Amino acid sequence: MTKPKKSSNPSPLQRDLANRLIQQITTGELAVGAHLTEEGLASQFDVSRTPVKAALRLLAEQELLDYHVNSGYFVSPNANSEKAAEMVVGGVSSDTLYQRLIDDRTHNRLPDTMTETDFLERYSVPRSLLRGTLVRMAADGLIEKRRGQGWNFPPTIGTPELMTDSYQFRIMVECGGLLESGFRIDPAQLQSSRLAHEKLLEQTPADYSATAFFALNSAFHEMLARFSNNRYVLQAIQQQNQLRRLGEHIAFHRAPRQIDSCQEHLQIIEALESNNTEWAAALMRHHLNTARDV
């Protein structure tokens, strides 16, 4: 094993990439011995190879990675999760800032509209890190870029009381939609949804994504609302999905139940495949009650 050339004065992007890799080591997504390539990481993080190379050098300096000539970087046997969790390169990472923004918005610590200056004054992070994080949140539907300057947070269900009311409303609408006289399943869509849920259940916890889980979850509920053939049922569920987006993201990290939720969805799909809509409605009521209580 050799040591790579020491990095000098890393940029905010390079520090952010290093911190994101540290988080992956902390969660076990990057296990001891994992081979890290510049090309693979550049593709994963949608950046050029130059900042990736600098980020890898930073982690090698902290002895989280081992460098081998002609082979590249590997997660070091010294890089246990406890050690990695204690290390942060040059401040806050994009993932950390992303979660802080979600948490602060969920608890009404942020107004509906903010400028980049407002964000920078509150969080004291590099502008490039902030912009990259806001773009990620916009892609996830958690914030919207204004036509002029600034950003808007979309409406959300921001308190436990409103969340409870939301679930009670969904129980009435979704269970009722399953029992509509015009309810008709699309076998192809139902089968596709089944396969998507089964694929998620095959993943390891390190592969779970709040964004992917929310997309699958909301698509499932909208699909059943569409099967009701009642446009108002569908519109109500689409609105609820938009309102609960922030809450679902924070819940994913605080009380993850994606495995249970997927299994409950599969039970509903099985009932519908057997043309037992009354049982599907009962399962949906149990599913929503459980999610509300969690």
Domain with 110 in it: what CATH number?
1.10.10.10
What pLDDT, on a 0 to 100 scale, did the predictor assign at position 161? 78
**Domain match, 170 and 227 both:** yes
**Domain match, 52 and 144 both:** no
What pLDDT, on a 0 to 100 scale, did the predictor assign at position 250? 56
Query: Does the structure show a pLDDT above 90 at 221?
Result: yes
Q: Which of 83-97, 101-115, 215-229, 274-288 has the lowest mean pLDDT?
A: 83-97
Report whether 99 contacts 253 (CB < 8 A): yes
Query: Does the structure show a pLDDT above 90 at 201?
Result: no
What pLDDT, on a 0 to 100 scale, did the predictor assign at position 281? 97
What phi and psi values does residue 149 have, to the nearest 5 degrees? -95, 150
Mean pLDDT of 191-196: 94
Residue 231: Cβ within 10 Å count: 10
64 burial level (CB within 10 Å; 0-12, 13-18, 19+): buried
Q: What are the beta bridge partners of residue 74?
A: 35, 66
Mind giving me the DSSP string for 135-178?
HHHHHTTS-EE-SSSSEEPPP---SHHHHHHHHHHHHHHHHHHH
The domain boundary, picked from 35, 54, 85, lies at: 85
The reported pTM is 0.54
Q: 7 lies in a domain?
A: no
Work out the pLDDT band at 170, boundaries 50, 70, 90.
very high
Query: Does the structure show a pLDDT above 70 at 51?
Result: yes
**Domain match, 272 and 289 both:** yes
Query: Does the structure show a pLDDT above 60 at 81?
Result: no
Report whether 99 contacts 249 (CB < 8 A): no
Q: Characterize the bridge pairing of strands 151-152 and 113-114.
A: antiparallel
Percentage of the chain modeled with pLDDT above 90: 35
Mean pLDDT of 266-273: 97
Mean pLDDT of 45-56: 86
What pLDDT, on a 0 to 100 scale, did the predictor assign at position 182? 96
Work out the pLDDT band at 253, boundaries 50, 70, 90.
low
**Domain match, 28 and 133 both:** no
Query: Does the structure show a pLDDT above 90 at 273?
Result: yes
**Domain match, 165 and 289 both:** yes
What pLDDT, on a 0 to 100 scale, did the predictor assign at position 9? 67
What pLDDT, on a 0 to 100 scale, did the predictor assign at position 1? 57
Q: 187 lies in a domain?
A: yes
**Domain match, 196 and 79 both:** no
Q: Which of 95-99, 132-136, 208-212, 246-250 has the lowest mean pLDDT?
A: 246-250
In order of 133, 142, 152, the CA distances from 116 in angstroms are: 11, 16, 11
| Domains identified in the chain, total number | 3
Query: Does the structure show a pLDDT above 60 at 282?
Result: yes
Task: Show the domain range for 129.
Answer: 94-152
Higher-confidence residue of 51 and 211: namely 51
**Domain match, 187 and 269 both:** yes
Domain containing residue 258: CATH number: 1.20.120.530
What pLDDT, on a 0 to 100 scale, did the predictor assign at position 74? 93
- What is the Cα–Cα distance from 116 to 276, expressed in whole angstroms? 52
**Domain match, 176 and 201 both:** yes
User: Which of 79-83, 111-115, 251-255 has the largest mean confidence?
Assistant: 111-115
Mean pLDDT of 54-74: 89
The domain boundary, picked from 131, 152, 173, lies at: 152
The domain boundary, picked from 107, 124, 152, lies at: 152
**Domain match, 37 and 75 both:** yes
